[in-house]
Amino acid sequence: DTEVTQTPKHLVMGMTNKKSLKCEQHMGHRAMYWYKQKAKKPPELMFVYSYEKLSINESVPSRFSPECPNSSLLNLHLHALQPEDSALYLCASSQPASGSYEQYFGPGTRLTVT
């Protein structure tokens, strides 16, 4: 199983809402990532978890709050977002001990902030 799943596929939320994005993988990977991708732009790294510990935070605003409750799950909690936060949010995973480097990406959650 080389699949990373993300839910929901689409999300519309108001600026005062609280919502969460979910990502799951069962490949035994111990590194998980959140990326943000605006239209016609490449993905930009937001957070990296390695062995369930936050390892990289790319100076992301606090209205985005990541959580890694176990080695298979990654959440992104959203609160008080702005319309400019509308984007495709991608989750990925990899095996940090691997001698190679392959990140497996999920299909993404298309977020619209109204």
Partner 1 sequence: DAKTTQPPSMDCAEGRAANLPCNHSTISGNEYVYWYRQIHSQGPQYIIHGLKNNETNEMASLIITEDRKSSTLILPHATLRDTAVYYCIVRVPGGYQKVTFGTGTKLQVIP
- The distance of closest approach from Cβ of residue 91 to partner 1 in the complex, given in angstroms and rounded to an integer, is 8
- The distance of closest approach from Cβ of residue 49 to partner 1 in the complex, given in angstroms and rounded to an integer, is 8
What is the x/- site pattern for partner 1, positions 70-109, by CB under 8 A?
Answer: ------------------x-x-x-x-xxxxxxxxxxxxx-
Give the helix/strand (H/E) hosting 34: strand 31-37
Indicate which single residue of 26, 38, 56, 61 sits in contact with partner 1 (rule: CB under 8 A): 56
- The distance of closest approach from Cβ of residue 96 to partner 1 in the complex, given in angstroms and rounded to an integer, is 5
93 with 33: CB under 8 angstroms? yes
4 with 92: CB under 8 angstroms? yes
Burial class (CB in 10 A: 0-12, 13-18, 19+), 78: buried
Indicate which single residue of 20, 44, 52, 79 sits in contact with partner 1 (rule: CB under 8 A): 44
